[in-house]
Structure 1
Amino acid sequence: MIEINWPAIGFTVLPNLGGIAGGFITKKSINPWYEGLKKPEWRPPNWAFGPVWTTLYSSMGYASYLVYRDGNGFEGGAKLPLMVYGVNILANWLWTPIFFGKKDIKLALYEMQLVNGTALATAYLFYKVNHTAGFIILPYCLWLSVATALNYVIYRDNKDKIKEIKET
């Protein structure tokens, strides 16, 4: 009989729940709002965001499981890393309602700095508990640099019409 590691599955799936919720918010704002913004030529195509975020969320979730397992859960050395990770994932989930829901590109850019800082702290703290878990977070940090740059360029190139954008 195959044994199923339910905690690993739960930790892996959990981050995707916020991603799925964010997808509903994003879908409502893609057309005409987001498509009407000036965006850089180097931006990834819209279809790429779903698979990339699903992969990143799943890997982050699995990394959090490794830390939970190897750091003796919330009663041991995993407590602080998992708390920082929790702040990170909540900040990550909040970015979508700010950017796509409120259409507040500037606030989303500021909020992204919290995501970046807690992501780097998560990678470091995870590494201290489980080296593999720390390394698993690095692609997420790299993708966040792309997302931050994209947020910045969209803000920079559209700030002359920010008030008009928010009203659409």
Structure 2
Amino acid sequence: MPLPLSALGATILPNVGGWAGSFLVRKHYSSWYMTLKKPKWTPPKYSFGPIWTVLYSGMGFASYLVYKEGGGFQGKAAIPLAVYGANLALNWAWTPLFFGYHSFKWSVIDGMLLMATAALTGALFHKVDPRAGLLMVPYLAWLALGSSFAFYIYQANDKIIN
């Protein structure tokens, strides 16, 4: 049985911000980013695209499950989906903060808010549809790694902080 278009749209939506951000990353990756002190456990460049595609798709499908099971924006899904929307906005803001403005401080602050809203989204999603909450777990794990990565860069590159 094919998925409805709303499931496809919800699954693709988070990727849109990721694709937009990837253009910004490409512009700065080979120059400015390569000069930064990074931890030894920095993930390889080629891993980010596939990992984020899987994570964004899982998040998006989770939002579809919550929308469907929770009665849409008028039902019990309204608050979980609003928190999810805030999380997406924070997620999409991180790349311009870090790569565009080279603001380590604000990317770390954004990352902390991102972790908090992702955890809350996962908990709220789980109340509506447990499968949706579980789909947020890999995203939270990756955010934990990413937040520690951003904090390391903030600490190690303090002389070039804007």
TM-score (norm 2): 0.97
* Counterpart Cα distance in 2 of 1:151 and 1:36: 15
* Counterpart Cα distance in 2 of 1:107 and 1:19: 19
Summarize the Cα distance change of 1:127–1:91 in structure 2 as closer, same or farther, 3 Å threshold.
Answer: same
**What corresponds to 2:157 in structure 1?**
158
**What corresponds to 1:166 in structure 2?**
none
Once the two structures are TM-superposed, the CA of residue 53 in structure 1 deviates from its matched residue by 0.5
* Counterpart Cα distance in 1 of 2:45 and 2:26: 11
Summarize the Cα distance change of 1:162–1:4 in structure 2 as closer, same or farther, 3 Å threshold.
Answer: closer
Q: Quick one: which amino acid aligns to residue 103 of structure 2? A: D
**What corresponds to 1:134 in structure 2?**
133
* Counterpart Cα distance in 2 of 1:129 and 1:144: 23
Summarize the Cα distance change of 1:3–1:158 in structure 2 as closer, same or farther, 3 Å threshold.
Answer: closer
Secondary structure of 2:31's match? coil
Deviations 1:81-100 (A, max 9, x none): 00000000010000000000
Once the two structures are TM-superposed, the CA of residue 162 in structure 1 deviates from its matched residue by 2.3
**What corresponds to 2:28 in structure 1?**
29
* Counterpart Cα distance in 2 of 1:137 and 1:62: 10
Deviations 1:91-141 (A, max 9, x none): 000000000000111111011111111000000000000000001001100
Give unmatched runs, 5+ long, in structure 2: none
* Counterpart Cα distance in 2 of 1:4 and 1:52: 23
Once the two structures are TM-superposed, the CA of residue 31 in structure 1 deviates from its matched residue by 1.6
Give unmatched runs, 5+ long, in structure 1: 164-168
**What corresponds to 2:104 in structure 1?**
105
**What corresponds to 1:52 in structure 2?**
51
TM-score (norm 1): 0.94
Summarize the Cα distance change of 1:3–1:151 in structure 2 as closer, same or farther, 3 Å threshold.
Answer: closer
* Pairwise CA RMSD: 1.0
* Counterpart Cα distance in 2 of 1:76 and 1:8: 18
153-162 or 46-55: which moved more?
153-162
**What corresponds to 2:79 in structure 1?**
80
* Counterpart Cα distance in 1 of 2:135 and 2:2: 24
Once the two structures are TM-superposed, the CA of residue 6 in structure 1 deviates from its matched residue by 0.5
* Counterpart Cα distance in 2 of 1:160 and 1:89: 31
Q: How many percent of aligned residue pairs carry the same amino acid?
A: 46
**What corresponds to 2:67 in structure 1?**
68
Are 1:41 and 2:34 matched, yes or no? no
* Counterpart Cα distance in 2 of 1:154 and 1:131: 35
* Counterpart Cα distance in 1 of 2:58 and 2:123: 16
